[in-house]
A and B are shown apart, each in its own frame.
Chain A
Amino acid sequence: MAVLAAALGLFLLVNIVVGLIRVLRGPTEADRMLAAQLFGSTGVALLMLLAAALQRPALLDVALVFALLSAIAAIAFVRRYWTRREMTAGGDDGGA
């Protein structure tokens, strides 16, 4: 079963590497951020597999932190970079 876990982890890594193509030539910054979102969830799955294969439950906490960080990164991207509507009327975030 360890061989199967290693093969599946390698498959997820290949997914991440192939997704980097979109980071290279996504026409907009938003497309690159989408690729980063996908890397976040794939990395969480990879850490879960590793925790099961190596019998290290501590890796599940790392996966939890990964999930939190990818969400926070996407929200920060949308709110602070993608929209340049800070300090203008009409924004629903009440200004920065």
Chain B
Amino acid sequence: MVVLEYLGWGLVLAGMPFFAAGTVGLLRFPDFFCRLHALTKADNLGLGLVSLGLGLQSGSWLVAFKLLLIWLLVLVSSAAVSHLMARTALRNGVRPWRRP
């Protein structure tokens, strides 16, 4: 079980750079669409790795299943919301950024 615990913490640690990348992208990217693109990395991959790692080391099937369920909910809602926001931005006349 020690192996599972180390593996789980390793996965959680691997998920952290994606949150940092989402924050940095939100601050540094030039327009709305680029920021949206950076942010979905944190949603999908960062939270996925964190929930997978914590589920591995939790040691109970119920907790692992609940973590997986939260991640699946965030995946579906993040995809739907991102698509909705990007489409609405295009319709509202937000122009995608071009290299000057």
Contact = CB atoms under 8 A, between A and B. Distances in A.
Contacts, number: 119
Given A1-B9, A21-B27, A52-B57, A42 B73 contact: no
Contacts of A57: 62-63, 66
A92 to B, nearest CB: 10
A60 to B, nearest CB: 5
Interface residues of B, number: 44
Nearest to B5: A1
A49 B32 CA distance: 30
B47 A45 contact: yes
B27 A22 contact: yes
B63 to A, nearest CB: 6
Interface residues of A, number: 39
B74 A52 contact: no
Contacts of A18: 23, 27
B51 A8 contact: no
Nearest to A17: B23
Given A1-B5, A42-B19, A48 B50 contact: yes
Given A41-B78, A57-B62, A60-B67, 11 more contacts: A11-B16, A15-B23, A18-B27, A22-B26, A37-B43, A38-B26, A41-B74, A48-B67, A67-B73, A67-B74, A74-B81
Interface of A: 1, 4, 8, 11-12, 15, 18-19, 21-22, 28, 30-31, 33-35, 37-38, 41-42, 44-45, 48-49, 51-52, 57, 60, 63-64, 67-68, 70-71, 74-75, 78, 82-83
